[in-house]
Every structure is written in C-alpha cells, then in structure tokens.
Chain A
Amino acid sequence: MNSFKLFVSNIKHFFAANFWVALGISISTAVLTGGLIVGDSVKYSLGQAAELRLGNITHALTTGERFVTTDLAHSLNESGIACSQALKLRGNATANGGQLKLNNVAIWGIDDGFWKVAAGRNDSAVFLAGDESRAYISENTAKRLNLSPGDEILLRIEKASLIPANAPFVSDEGQIVSKRIKIEKILTIEELGGLNLRTSQTAPFNIFLPIDELNRWMELGEKANVLLISSEKTVAEIENYISINFSLADAALNIAGANLTNEWELTSGRVFIDDATSKNIENSGLETSPLFTYFVNSFSSGNRETPYSFISTLPNDRLSENDIVVNEWLADDLMLKAGDSLLLKYYTIGPLRELTEDSVTFTVKEVVPIEGYFADQGLMPHIPGLSDAENCRDWQTGVPVNLGAIRDKDEDYWYKYRGLPKAFVAYDVAQKLWKNRYGSVTAFRFDRNQISKPELERAILEQINPFELDMQLEAVKEQGLQAARNGTDFSQLFLGLSFFILVSGVLLTALLFGYNLERRSSEIGTLSSLGFSKRGILKLFLSEGLFFAVLGALLGSFLAIGYNRLVFWGLNHVWNDIVRTQVLIPKIEVQTLVIGFFVSIAVAILTIYLSLSRSLKKQTASIQRKTANALGKRAKTVLNIFAWFFLTAAFVMSLLELMKSKGNLNSGLFFMAGGMLLLSIMLFILLAISRNPRQRLSPLSKTTLAIRNLKQSRIRSMTVIALLAIGTFLVVSTGLNRKDFFSKENDPKSGTGGFLFWAETSVPLLHNLNNSAYRQEQGFMQNFTAVQMRVNDGDDASCLNLNKISNPRVLGVDPAQLKGRFSLQTKTKHVNQDDFWQTLDSENDHVIPAFADQTVIQWGLMKKVGDTLTYKNEFGEDIYLVLAGGLSASVFQGNVIISEKAFLHHFPTSNGSRVFLIDGPEESREAIFDELTLAFRDLGIQISPTAERLAEFKTIENTYLTIFLVLGALGLLIGTVGLAIVLQRSLLERKAEFALLASVGFSKRMLLQLIRGEYILLLFTGIVSGLITAFISVFPAIRGTVENLSPGFVVLLIALILLNGIIWVFVLSWLQLKQPVLVEALRND
C-alpha cells in the first residue's frame, strides 16, 4: 500500500458521493465558461456583422449635404486607391399598391465599381440596361415589403440638389422625386445587402440603383456623396490623395469669364460661396473683388415702389455705408436723383424658412447707366426657379411673391435684363445685411490680365481644404471592428447575470464536499492516529478533490457548450430584442474553454481546501471539546461591527437620498442599500444562530428544539438561508424593476416629456410646423404644437446597438420649447435642475453643452456626465460636446441633444428638421396622427406614440432583466436543491436523534412537524430576508413617478420557489420517516 494506491481506492470507494461534488463543480464551470463563450460569440458576431456590412470597404468619404464629382473617384483609382463612388439618398418605399410602406430606406446609387471595391468581384452584378428602372434590394427590405424579383415598388426619394434646400430664395417645390422601380435581385447580407457605414449590428433597409440613373432623376449630372474605398493606407494618406485630386467642381465651384468685363468669375453651384472658402480666397493675396447679390422685396421712394429686384455690391472704397448706386431704369421708375433717400425692404431667412421682412434706407449717391459692369447679368447668381424663369410670374423663389405687385414694366425689365441688379451697395454693407449661414459671397472676380484660368484654378484649389467642406473620411472598417471589440461585453454581462448560479454552484460544491468530509471524519481521525500528518491528510483529500474538480470541470466544459447553445437560442428567439441581428454566430474559442476549465478548477480547489481545512480544524477542536461549534468572541465582535455598519450605511444612504432628492431617487443607490441591508441581516442571523442558549430554566418547546437543531449546523443553515435570500433578493429586485408603461405618459416630467408623438421623416421638413401661415397653407385643422429637431446623423447609441459608440446622432433643439419637460437623472454642477434645458444655450466657443439619456451615456457611450464627445463640424473643425446631464429614461434614447443655435452654428447648411415631438389634446390624438401622416406621407413620416417608443427601449431593459430574472431563478432553484441536499443529509445523520425522540414519545406526526418546521423556517428566513431587502432596493421604482411595477411575475416566481422548497421538505422528511420506528439507529452497536 502506498499513497497512490490509497488515493485510487478512495476514488473508487467514494466515487458515487464525490460524483455529486463534480456535478456541483460542473454547474459553476458551465456557467463560467458558458458566459465567456457567449461573450466571445457576440463579439465575434459583431465583428462579422461589421465585415458583412462593409465587405472590402475600409474607408468612406462622406460629403454631408454636398456632392463631389464622380471624377474624384476615377482620379483616386488612377492614383492606386480602389474607390467607388456612390450617391446615397434617403427615401421611402411603398409596395403592394401602397399597402406596404417602408420609411427610412437608404437608396444607394452605385455602379459596377462598387462590386469591385466592396466585394472584390468583377462578375455579374452590373445593373441591366433597359427601359425600366431596376434595383437590387436587401433581404430585410424584401421581407418587410414582401417583395420578390420582378415586383415593382414606388420610391419616394429626397430630391438631391447642389443647392442647400433651405438656402435663401431657393424653392422648396419638388422636394421629393417619385419613381417606380422593378426589383431585379434580392441581396443577402453576404452579398452586401446590409451595406451600412454606420456602426450597428442591425442592417438598414437598402435599395441599390445605378448611380447614373439616380443622378439623372436628381438632375445632378455626375455626382456622388459617398466614396467607398478599399485600401490599406491610413486616413491621413488617403486624405492627402483626396486633397491632391480634389477639383473645383468637387467643391461645386466654377470659373468662367465674366460677361462684360475682362474678368474671371468664380461662382458656386450652391449659390453662396461658403465662408470657409471665401475667407481663404480673400486672405490668399489674390487680387479679387467679391460680389454679393441679393433679392429684395422692394425699393421705394415716396409713394413709388419697385417690387422684387436684385441688388449687388461694389467695392467698399467706392461707396460709404449709407450710399446706394441705382441704375437708370430704377431711377426713372422711382424718379430718383443723387441725394434722394431710397427705402429698401428685404427678407432675412431664419431657420426653417422663417421669413422676417426688414428695411433699410440709403441715400442715392449716383445714377448709373446700364452699361459695362452695371449691365452684367452675370451678377445675379444662378438660382434654379428664378434664373430659368421666362417671366416674373413663373418665379419659384422660396419666398412669398405678390404677383399682383409685379407690373408690366417689371416683366419688361426681366425680359430685357433678366436678374440684372438695379442697385448697388458697398460689399461690407451687403454682408452685414444679408449674410446667411450658407455664405456671404455669390462670386469672386479676378482680373484676366493678371492671371490665367489654369493659374487661378490652381491658386484657388490651394486655398480649399476639402475637409473644411463638410467632408469626412473615416476608417469605417477599423472603427466598426473596434466598436465590435469594445461593444457590450456579453461575457461580463452573462457572468454578471449568471453570477447567482455561479455562487450557487460553488456553495453546492462546498456543501456536498463538506458532507462527504463529515462522513469520513472517522477516517480522518484514524489516519491521524496512524501517524498521518495534517498536511499529509490535506494532500490526500485535496488530490481526491482535484480529481473530481477536473472531472467536474471537464463535464462543465461540455455543459458550457450546451449552456451557450441555450443562451443563443434565447438570444435568437425570446431575447432577440437585445441583440437585433441575424448574424449571431456561436464561437467557441479553445482559449476560452481552457480559461474556464482552469478557473473552475481553481475555484473548486479553493472551495474544497476551505472545507477541508475547516473540517480538519473542527476535528482538532472536537478533540478539545469545549470549543466545538462555537463562534469565537473576537469573531462575534467583528461580525457585530460589520452587521451594524452595513445596517447603518443602508439606512443612512436611503435617508440621505430621500431627503436630498427632489423627485427621482437614485435606483442604483437603493439597490446598494438593499444589498447592504441583506448583508447586515445575514450577519445578524449568523450571530443569532451562533449565540449560546440562554441560561434559563425554562420549559422546552418544539420551536426551541427546532432552533437548537438549526443552530447545531450553523454553516449549513446559513448557506441555505444565504442562497435563498440572495436569490430572492436578486429575483425580486430585478423582477420589480421590470417596467410596464403607459401609466403616466402625459406627465411632462416623464420619459415621454408629456408629448403625444415622436415622429421622424426620411426627408427633412423645411418649414416651421408651428407657423400659422404654413399650417393654413397645409390645411392643418388640428390644434397641435411641434418641437422640431435638426439631425446630424451618427451611430445609434441606444441599447439597440451592441457596439461601442463614440459619435451618436446629434439633435439640435430649441431648449425653450422643452422647458418643464423630461427630467435629469444626473447632471454636472453647472446645470440648474429647475430649468436644465437652458444650459444647452450656453455654448462656449467649440465647447457645447449636451444632454443624453443616462443609459446612453453609461452603456452606449460608456462615459459619465461631465465627459466630452468629439465631433467634426461642417468646417472640419473639432467640436466638443460636454455631457452636461443624463436624462431619466426618455424617448431621446440613442441621441445627443444640443441647442439648435449651436447646431446651426456648426452645421449651418443642415436642411430642415427630421425629428419631431408633437403635443396636442389627448382627445385629438388620432386626428393629429392622421393629419400628419397624410400631410407628410411623401417625406416618409413615421409617427409613433411617445409611450410606445419609450416602451420599446424599456423592452430591451426588461429583456436584460428577464434574463437576469430567469438565470437568478435558476440559481434560486439550485439553492433549493441545496436545501434538499442539506435536508436529505441531515435527515440521514439525525436518524439516531429521531429514534431517540421516538423512544421518548414523539409521534411520527410530531417528528415530521419538527423536521418540516426547521427547514421551512430556513426557507422562510431566506426568502423573507431576500424579500425585505429587495423592497428597499426597488423603493425608487415603487415610489417612481413614471412606471408601474410588474409584481405578478415575481410573486408567481417566489411562490414557485417556496412551493418547490416546501415540496422537497415534505417529500424528503416523509421518505425518511416512512419506516415505523428507527430502532436500528438506537442499537447499541
């Protein structure tokens, strides 16, 4: 016989008993490794999603509201950078005779270069030429619209134009282009059907058309607004290539000879030359005279008035501030001469086409003949709807024109001179009066004698930085993969969610191993008496433990794969809300299995070691007798201190929060307080059951006897109580935090802001919905108000996106319109709680205060209040959005909100608004819905009740909580299995005790009562402790102003757990006492 043989014989002999220990270990391993595998799989799936949504595309140049020529892509290709141009527009699609409608469709104009660059393919995917417009659509689009190849759909596409839609005097007519297209092919996500430049695992609804055709529909020529690049070069290198190959046409600039002067004229296809370019040209040293031509409502002098005319500029040195030069025609019309006053009325155009008529008076300095510079019709910029109108009555100006005021002589002037300016003011004066966010120069003129056209072109190009023109080059693939790597960590999440099962598994292992040790206590004694050292015994038992730990961990690794499959089944079916992707692929990394395997073994060995050393200590103690099972005085004092500390901390935290908070209680803090209270209660129970019986000569009752029995197995009793208490605490607190909605949706402080609807349009609305004239024009009958928000597209940062987001969508809103609405959960100290929205107006240079939902800040952005998000504004400058406050769960989830003022300052050419909050009388809810749906059908409006939108986000939160709840309940179930094991083992151990009790006259009924009482007391103590503390933790939800609680499920769950425990207690005790009497146990041998 040697140690190894003894080890082998022990393994064989105690295999059955230790196998249960291995099973306990396998539970922990399965949960631990399973959680890690889930994390790996989600991370892998997100990475795959990034690969699938981008194909070979590594970088993307987006041009905002601008367009570049398709030549840029060709030049880049010639420079060795694989690049494909695309025209990406927003729209909506209807199918089946209008019965099926899909908003927010991404319409991609692409050519065969796209397949080469994005898919590395030279074959097939070229669009068929033919009479009919043909398109490829993504699988999800086909599914939503129930489409098959050959079907037709109607597309409504936002009209793309070089000129910003809200630029002054540009008509808003024809904002939508409608086309019927035939479906040629349905693209799977593997075929780039899910093309998406935004970081999201959710595929957008894509429709692909030939770029030429889309350009034709938009009357753009050969333009693109996205360049898709596949290159290993860095962003800086590619930016350099873009800058080198950038042409004036890419900046919508054009140089042509002026009509009547010997000058080159630089004009913009966008009417106004943007300020960045203007400033650079003015500061370039080039000799130039800038021009600013504007459309005015009238010139008047005395009672004479000339309607609707253009006015232009002269160099500043030719006119003083009050001077105006008029042409002969105007002088004749108004009978003007030098020195006369001239009143000029004009519109200034605010956001959302809000017109303000202003006026200014000048003194006529000179009357000039219509010749030379003053006869140059080229002074009027090309404005579609105006420039090409045959007569004044055909004008489409984008501002109201009183056709009745137009006289025949005005028509004659238009016919003869077109938009020739009738008056001229100093350039600086014009800038001061009419400068707008699209620019303050309509043309630059250069002396042809001083510079040739190519020289001028080069000189101007040197002044243009494409990346100051709202163009952004992003390493989309790298960003996508990084966002996937840093996204929601499902390993942590599931380990967190399964934590209780993990703890249950460990405790179960400890319990089972402890029992086995107790059964073998005599063996330990024998070995000890035979001269085995404590270390030797420890080594022997630890080797056995290690054997079974390895066995359990091996088994657990297989179970982990099963657990992973189960979780994935849940994620793909019942819990799909939280992943929202079709590409959830299980990924089992050997490394993860190995980590899980060894960590589990380490945990198991530690657990076994603790049980073993405790058992060996107990052996010694029992020899010394007096200290058996007693808790030392010092230990008691320490436990007491901790118990009181946690109790005090829990109450102080709760009280302070109750006193301090003015509404929303911090739920995290109460959860912590509940947890501390639970700890405190557990310690008090431990102290209570460790207390020596009182030295009192009192009668002995059944209850006292039951309590004495529980005290006898202090650790076992505590284990069961703790398992049940923690389980109940987690299940109840998560269960009660699940939210139902629709209760207080009208409360302005709630997450709905008290608004009726949240609406989004695919195509921006250029007008102010609250403007009565506009409403009248649209025929709105209902009384509603709207908060309109401008949008700078970004990634979805709501809980629907699992990737780590750094630049969520930015909404620009007028803070005054939200006063008194919504509430803040967290804020920086600079924010005034009572009117927090006003904080948004305090922009400081490039530092912009912003709000976002607290959940978005915390989980989507993984930041905290006070942190900064960096964006690029339209001019390519970095702007810093400081997260000044976190909103309590609201309909804004996924967005960052800044003030409209700051928004327009940094994104001046933004076109109208695409997001709306609508309020109105509750009784008109349906009528408002119908009216808006009908009015903005073409804009692809999607209206949802705010409560419904909020509920959708809460569904995600609830899904997480449900998983937690289900896994918690599973853990709790294991806890009751622990109770069952404790019960079974105790009953076996206490056979002699029951026999003794029978011998002194306890009936079987009394024995059953005693046993059941003891264990039901454990069950209740655990569950009640968990319940009490859980109620503290969900106090904010109970007192909450917004949501209802959903206690039904929790009550059912607790009832089931209780019932499960009671059944175990009843069945096992009945089985144990089934025999008539337990006389065998009293036998003398």
Chain B
Amino acid sequence: MLKIKNLSKSYPSASGLVDHKVLDNLSLGVNKGETLSIVGPSGSGKTTLMNIIGTLDVPDTGEVIFEDLNLKNLTEKTRPEFRNKKIGMIFQLHHLLPQCTLWENVLIPTIPLKNQGNGALKRAEDLLKKTGIWEQRFQKPAELSGGECQRAAVVRALINEPSLILADEPTGALDQDNARNLVDLLLELNSEQGTSLIMVTHAPELAKKMNTTYRLSKGKLV
C-alpha cells in the first residue's frame, strides 16, 4: 500500500551554514492493514517522515508511492484532497478546536468533502460510541479530560475512512493507563476498518503492540 524509496530530507542547521540531514536514503514498505511503530530519539526525523507521508512536507529526494500513486505527482490542489481522503492524522496534542463541540470536532474533516451525506454522521456516531465518548458529544474540549480529547482526535482521524493512520506520539500527553487504552483502541479500530497504522512513539511497550517496530537512527530505519 505504501512504498517509500530512498527518501532524503535535510534542514538548514541553526548556523545556516551546513544542512542537517534528517532522513537519509530511507526506504520503507507498509502493507494494507499493517501496523508499525517508529521509535527513536527526539530530533531523529520521526515527525518529518510522518509529515512527508502525510503530504504536509516534501522530501528532497526519493519517492513515496501510496496505493500506486506517486505522491510527487500530487499538486498543490490535489494534495489536500488526497490527505483528506486517504490519511488520518493524530498528534501528541489533540488539537481539537476549542470553539467546537466534540461532535463538530470529529466532523471537521468532512467539511472539504463535497458530499458529506449521512454516512459521515453515522460513522461519527459509531466511532464516538466505540471510543466511549458518545455521552460527551455536545461538550467542548475545555470540558473534557485529556484522554477523552485524544480519543476524539482518533475519531476525527478515522471519520473519512482513510487507508492510513499516521499517529505522531499520540500518547505523549497522556498517563500510562490512558496511553495504553488509546493504543489498544487504535489497534482495535485499525483491525476493524482494515486501516494501516504508523505510530511514532517513545514508549517501547506501546511500540511492541504493533506488527513491526522500526528505530529511526541517523536518518535510516533500522
């Protein structure tokens, strides 16, 4: 489903004189329904890799092939649509919009869809119930706990039935119990919906729950 070939990405160093290579000729393959975790120290390039896969960033060299689509061929116009339909993202902070209720927050990715239909509403209801936050659907993020908010972020990521979930340290702001529960939930939903999952984490025990675990070191996956 996802093939990454010889991906490289550099950022200018703080001094601006030398480029800091974050990803160095990195290659990776992810099958449909597969779950994998990426671990590594801070600044090793995990988020950069996630952003490139999520089309939020572009590589210097190399290719990302997603379901036979070379992401290089995406234009400024088609990239958001691809992201909207194919990718679901979860971040360390839930980034729920404080002005919207939970219900509205999970429906945000449906806005760019030309035809929202009842399908999305039904899915939202199912997912909220499954994640155990149905009762809180009319509450605003400020009125919820961190765990509840992060579960809502999971629902938001899944609402458009993406092929791939990119979870960038989704449990970073949660306590151990909540973190474990969230990962279990992700895996459960993943298997139910047949979605692939790439999760960046610092926690080895959570990483182990995935089919495959990679360590990102010196720009390469090992």
Name A residues whose Cβ lies closer than 8 Å to a Cβ of B. Answer: 622, 625-626, 628-629, 693, 695, 697-702, 704-705, 708-709, 711-712, 992-993, 995-1004, 1006, 1077, 1079, 1082-1084
Interface flag for B182 (CB, 8 Å): no
Residues of the A chain whose Cβ atoms lie less than 8 Å from the Cβ of B95: 992-993, 995-996, 1082
**Smallest Cβ-Cβ distance to A622: which chain B residue:** B142
> Which of A622, A693, A700 is the most central at the interface, judged by chain B CB atoms within 10 Å of its CB?
A700
Instruction: Flag if A998 contacts B110 (CB, 8 Å).
Output: no
Interface flag for B25 (CB, 8 Å): no
How far is it, in angstroms, between the C-alpha of A695 and the C-alpha of B140 when the chains are bound?
Answer: 11
Residues of the B chain whose Cβ atoms lie less than 8 Å from the Cβ of A998: 56, 80, 83
Interface flag for B147 (CB, 8 Å): no
Instruction: Flag if B93 contacts A625 (CB, 8 Å).
Output: no
Instruction: Flag if B169 contacts A1084 (CB, 8 Å).
Output: yes
Instruction: Flag if B81 contacts A1003 (CB, 8 Å).
Output: yes
How far is it, in angstroms, between the C-alpha of A622 and the C-alpha of B143 when the chains are bound?
Answer: 10
Instruction: Flag if A699 contacts B168 (CB, 8 Å).
Output: no
Contact partner, B125, options A697, A709, A711, A1006, Cβ 8 Å? A697
Instruction: Flag if A999 contacts B99 (CB, 8 Å).
Output: no
Residues of the A chain whose Cβ atoms lie less than 8 Å from the Cβ of B80: 998, 1001-1004, 1006
Instruction: Flag if B142 contacts A1001 (CB, 8 Å).
Output: no
Residues of the A chain whose Cβ atoms lie less than 8 Å from the Cβ of B138: 693, 695
Instruction: Flag if A701 contacts B98 (CB, 8 Å).
Output: no
Q: A711-B99, A999-B89 are known contacts. Are A1083 and B104 too (CB-CB below 8 A)?
A: no
Interface flag for B62 (CB, 8 Å): no
Residues of the B chain whose Cβ atoms lie less than 8 Å from the Cβ of A995: 95
Instruction: Flag if B56 contacts A1079 (CB, 8 Å).
Output: yes
The smallest C-beta distance from A1084 to any residue of chain B, in angstroms, reads 4
Contact partner, B142, options A625, A997, A1004, Cβ 8 Å? A625
Beta-carbon contacts of B95-114 to A below 8 Å, as 1s and 0s?
10111110110011111100
Residues of the B chain whose Cβ atoms lie less than 8 Å from the Cβ of A626: 142-143
* B31-69 residues at the A interface, CB under 8 angstroms: 47, 51, 54, 56-57
Instruction: Flag if A705 contacts B47 (CB, 8 Å).
Output: no
How many A-B pairs have beta carbons closer than 8 Å: the answer is 109
The smallest C-beta distance from B136 to any residue of chain A, in angstroms, reads 12
How far is it, in angstroms, between the C-alpha of A625 and the C-alpha of B146 when the chains are bound?
Answer: 13
- Additional A-B contacts beyond A996-B95, A1001-B84, A1002-B84 (16; CB < 8 A): A693-B104, A698-B121, A699-B107, A699-B120, A700-B110, A705-B97, A705-B111, A708-B104, A709-B99, A993-B95, A999-B89, A1001-B80, A1001-B81, A1001-B83, A1004-B80, A1077-B57
Contact partner, A1004, options B56, B76, B98, Cβ 8 Å? B76
**Smallest Cβ-Cβ distance to B157: which chain A residue:** A1000
Residues of the B chain whose Cβ atoms lie less than 8 Å from the Cβ of A1003: 76-77, 79-81, 112
How far is it, in angstroms, between the C-alpha of A430 and the C-alpha of B112 when the chains are bound?
Answer: 108
How many interface residues does chain B have, given as a range?
A: 35 or more
How far is it, in angstroms, between the C-alpha of A1083 and the C-alpha of B57 when the chains are bound?
Answer: 13
Contact partner, B83, options A629, A693, A695, A1000, Cβ 8 Å? A1000
Q: A992-B95, A993-B97, A1082-B95 are known contacts. Are A697 and B103 too (CB-CB below 8 A)?
A: yes
**Smallest Cβ-Cβ distance to B156: which chain A residue:** A1000
Instruction: Flag if A1002 contacts B111 (CB, 8 Å).
Output: yes
Interface flag for B194 (CB, 8 Å): no
> Which of A699, A708, A992 is the most central at the interface, judged by chain B CB atoms within 10 Å of its CB?
A699
Contact partner, B54, options A708, A999, A1084, Cβ 8 Å? A999
The smallest C-beta distance from B201 to any residue of chain A, in angstroms, reads 11
Contact partner, B91, options A708, A997, A1001, A1084, Cβ 8 Å? A1084
**Smallest Cβ-Cβ distance to B97: which chain A residue:** A993
Residues of the A chain whose Cβ atoms lie less than 8 Å from the Cβ of B116: 699
**Smallest Cβ-Cβ distance to A700: which chain B residue:** B107
Residues of the A chain whose Cβ atoms lie less than 8 Å from the Cβ of B85: 1001
The smallest C-beta distance from A692 to any residue of chain B, in angstroms, reads 9
* B152-168 residues at the A interface, CB under 8 angstroms: 156, 160, 168
**Smallest Cβ-Cβ distance to A693: which chain B residue:** B101
The smallest C-beta distance from B118 to any residue of chain A, in angstroms, reads 8
How far is it, in angstroms, between the C-alpha of A776 and the C-alpha of B137 when the chains are bound?
Answer: 98
Instruction: Flag if B168 contacts A705 (CB, 8 Å).
Output: no
Q: List 15 A-B contacts (CB under 8 A).
A: A626-B142, A697-B121, A700-B107, A700-B108, A708-B99, A993-B95, A1000-B84, A1000-B112, A1002-B112, A1003-B81, A1079-B57, A1083-B47, A1084-B92, A1084-B93, A1084-B168
Instruction: Flag if A1082 contacts B108 (CB, 8 Å).
Output: no
How far is it, in angstroms, between the C-alpha of A760 and the C-alpha of B145 when the chains are bound?
Answer: 86
**Smallest Cβ-Cβ distance to B48: which chain A residue:** A1079
